Amino acid sequence: MQRRWANISLGILLLLLVVALAFRHSGWAPYLLGMALAGLAGGVADWYAVTALFRHPLGLKWLPHTSIISANRERIINAIATLVETELLSLEYVTRQLDKLPWDRWITQGLAADWPRPVAVWLGRHGREWLADVAPAEWGSLVKNWTERQAASLSLSDGLVTLIRWLVASGHDRDLFQFLAQHVRVTLDSVEFTDEMESRLKLVLEQYTKTTTQKFFLGLLESLGTVDYRDLSLSLKHGLMEWLESDKALDQFELLLVRMMMALRDNPTVRERVEAFKMGALGQIPWEEVVVWLRAQLTASVEPEKAAETLEKVRQAVTDWLRDHPETLHQVSDALTVGAARLVRQYHPVLGRLVRDNLNQMNEREWIDKLEWYVGRDLQWIRINGAIVGGLVGLLITVVTHLLRL
């Protein structure tokens, strides 16, 4: 539309020129002629300048400094990409904007919104379809291979060394000892253990008495009631309980942990056995059955009613927790800000590359047409303004010249 008006303005000026020449003997003809000539000069000059930006005027490729945008396409694309990456969306600017984001309010509004039911319906509609497409054999093999690759790249021995070192340094080895000792005491105090200990003691003493004389005296003592296996088992049990209560037991446990840590760290044979045990244990897991079980559990959990109830409980629990612990909300907000900033720093160089790649994908015609569509319409007003301003200046010059002659 703007180009049409620009061409119409030139047509009007050309018509005025014809009228001025036709009535050149009239008194007003010189003024009209001066205005038409200057307007045509300005309009044609601006037409040439605007056209030369995008293409060769009149298709004359030998004219210098024409089709400027096409000739400098690569430089313009690089300049646009650099402008976006370093100025419009610079890393510093984006990071500052991330710091201003109201994460706290968004989290609160998100928890207050009624989203469990729509999400549950969406899960019920699509979740079962996705889960039905899960092939247990294929996914079991994928999970098995991925798990074994990850396990092979991680050292269980080093992990155990780190765990033991942390237990000792933090004092949690005492908590672990108390936990184990409590369960040992429960086991020692059971009737089944007393009966088993009694039978074991009797078997040990019978195996120990190898000669006829030893067997005679053992039978004599048993008949006289001197050897009571029940009392022996109870005495042994009480002795073990007293030992567990002593500081020496804790010292022995801590010493055992240190020895285990040193063996796991320095003994190649122990390390190899631990790693072999790790891989062997993973190899015994029935991954296909695990996938079948997980698919069944997930299929049941995506039922709309159950999923909505679960999501509502989760939402209510999180809401209550954040209400009772407002500092946690600030910590989550800070974590989101830090995470978003980390992602921006990691992927910020991609911005310029995306702009550059998208612009380079355009062919020559598309490149020119898009720029002319966004910018050319406003440039056509330059042609219109050039014709109008040129005509007014021409009229002014003619008037001033006539006054000077008088």
Give the helix, strand, coil percentages of the chain, each rounded to 5. Answer: 85, 0, 15
262 vs 202: which has the higher pLDDT:
262
Residue 12 CA to residue 242 CA, distance in Å, equals 116
At 62 the pLDDT is 67
DSSP state for residue 86 in the 8-state scheme: I
Instruction: Taking residues 347-368, report their average pLDDT.
Output: 78
Asked if residues 274 and 156 have their Cβ atoms less than 8 Å apart, the reply is yes
At 214 the pLDDT is 53
In the predicted model, is pLDDT for residue 218 greater than 60? no
Asked if residues 265 and 157 have their Cβ atoms less than 8 Å apart, the reply is yes
pLDDT grade for 358, boundaries at 50, 70 and 90:
confident
At 211 the pLDDT is 58
Residues 6+ apart with CB under 8 A from 382: 46, 49, 50
Global pTM reads 0.48
Spatial CA neighbour of 61 closest among 74, 50, 76, 51: 51
At 145, list the tokens.
Answer: 């291979």
Per-residue burial over 113-128, b if 16 or more Cβ lie within 10 Å, else e, is eeebeeebeebbeebe
At 272 the pLDDT is 92
In the predicted model, is pLDDT for residue 80 greater than 60? yes
Highest mean pLDDT pick, 92-101, 194-203, 351-360:
92-101
In the predicted model, is pLDDT for residue 113 greater than 80? yes
Spatial CA neighbour of 293 closest among 136, 148, 138: 136
139 burial class (0-12, 13-18, 19+ CB within 10 angstroms)?
middle
Residue 138 CA to residue 135 CA, distance in Å, equals 5
Distinct helix (H) and strand (E) counts, the chain: 21, 0
In the predicted model, is pLDDT for residue 77 greater than 60? yes
At 401 the pLDDT is 80
pLDDT grade for 402, boundaries at 50, 70 and 90:
confident
Spatial CA neighbour of 164 closest among 151, 147, 177: 177
At 269 the pLDDT is 92
Provide the residue ranges of all domains of the chain, joining segments of one domain with +. 3-66+362-404, 87-141+286-353, 157-268
Spatial CA neighbour of 388 closest among 4, 5, 1: 5
Asked if residues 395 and 39 have their Cβ atoms less than 8 Å apart, the reply is no
What percent of the chain is modeled with pLDDT above 70?
A: 82
In the predicted model, is pLDDT for residue 315 greater than 60? yes
Highest mean pLDDT pick, 110-119, 155-164, 223-232:
155-164
Spatial CA neighbour of 320 closest among 111, 103, 110, 106: 111
E-only strand ranges, 66-114: none
In the predicted model, is pLDDT for residue 333 greater than 80? yes
At 329 the pLDDT is 85
In the predicted model, is pLDDT for residue 219 greater than 80? no
Residue 161 CA to residue 265 CA, distance in Å, equals 7
pLDDT tens readout for residues 127-184: 878 888 888 888 889 988 999 898 888 888 899 999 989 988 888 888 888 888 888 8
pLDDT grade for 210, boundaries at 50, 70 and 90:
low
At 326 the pLDDT is 84
Dihedral pair phi/psi, residue 90, rounded to 5°: -65, 160
pLDDT grade for 273, boundaries at 50, 70 and 90:
very high
In the predicted model, is pLDDT for residue 217 greater than 60? no
Residues 6+ apart with CB under 8 A from 34: 394, 395, 397, 398
At 6 the pLDDT is 67
Instruction: Taking residues 216-239, report their average pLDDT.
Output: 62
Q: How many residues does the chain have?
A: 406
Q: What is the mean pLDDT of the chain?
A: 79
Spatial CA neighbour of 101 closest among 319, 383, 338: 338
pLDDT tens readout for residues 240-254: 888 888 888 888 888
Spatial CA neighbour of 395 closest among 44, 28, 10: 28
In the predicted model, is pLDDT for residue 40 greater than 70? yes
At 188, list the tokens.
Answer: 């020692």
* 206-to-66, 182, 223, 224, 367 alpha-carbon distances in Å: 114, 32, 15, 17, 100
123 vs 331: which has the higher pLDDT:
331
